[in-house]
Amino acid sequence: MFKNTLIIGCGLIGSSILRSSIKNKISKNFYVFEKSKKNKQIIKKINSKIIFVSNLNKDIDKMNFIIICTPMSEYKFIIPKINKLKSENYVVTEVGSTKRNLINLIKNKNFVLSHPIAGSEVSGPKFSDQDLFNNKWCIIINKGKKNKINLVKKFWRKIGSKVILMDAKNHDKIFAITSHLPHLIAYNLIKTAQDFQKNEKKNLIKYSAGGLRDFSRTAASNEIMWRDIFFNNKDNMIKSIDKFIKNLNLMKKNIKLEKDKELKKILINSKKVRKQIITLKQDVSKPNFGRNI
Amino acid sequence: MFKNTLIIGCGLIGSSILRSSIKNKISKNFYVFEKSKKNKQIIKKINSKIIFVSNLNKDIDKMNFIIICTPMSEYKFIIPKINKLKSENYVVTEVGSTKRNLINLIKNKNFVLSHPIAGSEVSGPKFSDQDLFNNKWCIIINKGKKNKINLVKKFWRKIGSKVILMDAKNHDKIFAITSHLPHLIAYNLIKTAQDFQKNEKKNLIKYSAGGLRDFSRTAASNEIMWRDIFFNNKDNMIKSIDKFIKNLNLMKKNIKLEKDKELKKILINSKKVRKQIITLKQDVSKPNFGRNI
């Protein structure tokens, strides 16, 4: 597809893209810009042909495909360099989890925004996986040149993703609910449990298999990535937190007054969502995620 | 250990106890009281020697070990029958998730309260597992005759559990945080997502792999069991909901004012809990619970 591909930032997502791009022969040459020495040592072992670039200002001009995979808080240092690019024979994409914040930052019609719905609670190239994007959704924002959008589409499909177009506003609204709020709630539940432990001087982590453990996985996600997401999707976060609290107060009332019918209706309705998720193959169907503990 | 064992209520927990008790030769004879015809058909296939009893008033007197595994809302019909038992050569236990509510109901010193920390989002004997209690905690409430407590301890250990003694008050406080609040929060998050779908007319379930899916598993749990738990642990639920909302408002403030240091501190601290949970073998250590989707 490309002669020279550059991945800027090679953590879990960047190095998984690197692996799947090598596997699917996306490019002739693969360049990587990565600050961490430790990460570089791991990336070297992926393939001997990977070329490390040390200066974006010097090396960026010869690239045909650029994928930015750093935390979004780094974009303010990288995107100005992209905005200055002179040639026309290239396309740029990135993999951030929020989109409206990027629209004003980008002054380059060869730049297409992507969001692969893939990842996990662990970080870094150590955990990279060449099949990470296989059968996963990748959202592409419907803005920029049509031929560049098509090129980015083709790329994600080649590494196994299912592609869907969306506008930035809708994207940020939808993922506030399916991803950002769930993460915030998980962090908040773990914080509440930690407060309880501290105040009551009770060791409760050893009983976490009763429910808390699932939330602890989500709440172990990378703090830089998630701080960036919460700040960049601020207005949707605030709105969804308010809705969550409103519902939680209703739950509290139903419990306090033992409103059997009202409470049971909510609990029964939840089951439908689980069924849909399994039908849509968005989760494993085995009880307890197939865990044996 | 026993001549005649009776399991009252043979859903997921009851039939898993049945399987593990047969495997570990807990009793000479196994009796089952179960209302659902469909469940009975499944239970029959576990072992041909299982005897179904249809009248608790008639058959309960000859039992040496009785385990109540019905939803807690059924206890008001069952415990009075246990309270009337005449012989001394028996021990009774149950597996409910809250304990203070039972203390006043029980007028029988041969009754020992247990809470095995095991189960999943699915219900019924179809999903029963003879190893369900293996290496799991079982809480035993420190009330009743010492020799009966020891007998119940021995039973749980024989089917593979790790036993710990606790008083009812502490039990209900601790499990409000490690189990009951996480379930309520999961139900509430799914409700909030459903409201959003309805109001915004957007299909978002297909993007649930971004975080929501984990909560949907917890929120698919049995509605009768969880209604009973929320009502029976009402005061602890209300207190922990209030603490959760207080923390969530703090999160909201940190996001609104972009309080970088404060927010990051909370996100970093959460990771420690995940590490502890894995060290304590309360969850699988593989990223993403080892799911391949």
pLDDT of residue A293: 87
* Chain A residues inside the 8 Å CB shell of B263: 227, 230
Q: Which of A1-10, A22-31, A80-89, A208-217 has the lowest mean pLDDT?
A: A80-89
Nearest beta carbon to residue B219 from set A184, A243, A274: A274
- Smallest CA–CA separation between A58 and chain B, in Å? 33
Contacts 24+ apart (CB under 8 A), A148-152: A148/A91, A148/A109, A148/A110, A148/A111, A148/A112, A149/A112, A151/A1, A151/A91, A151/A112, A152/A91, A152/A93, A152/A112, A152/A114
Q: Which residue of B has its CA nearest to A238?
A: B252
pLDDT of residue A88: 85
Mutate to test the interface with A, among B274, B280, B291 (most CBs of A within 10 A): B274
* Confidence bin at A86 (pLDDT 50/70/90): confident
Q: What is the pTM of this model?
A: 0.96
pLDDT of residue B292: 84
pLDDT of residue B15: 98
Nearest beta carbon to residue A195 from set B206, B214, B243: B243
Provide, rounded to the nearest whole percent, the portion of chain A with pLDDT above 90. Answer: 96
Query: In order of start, what are the domains of chain B with their CATH numbers?
Result: 2-166 (3.40.50.720), 170-290 (1.10.3660.10)
* Confidence bin at A26 (pLDDT 50/70/90): very high
pLDDT of residue A292: 84
So what's the ipTM on this one? 0.96
- The stretch A178-198 carries a mean pLDDT of 98
Cross-chain residue pair A187–B219, CB shorter than 8 Å: no
- Residue A87, pLDDT above cutoff 90: no
List pLDDT tens digits, range A119-171.
999 999 999 999 999 999 999 999 999 999 999 999 999 999 999 999 999 99
pLDDT of residue B44: 96
pLDDT of residue B165: 98
Cross-chain residue pair A177–B190, CB shorter than 8 Å: no
Give the residues of chain B that fall short of pLDDT 50.
none
List pLDDT tens digits, range B89-129.
999 999 999 999 999 999 999 999 999 999 999 999 999 99
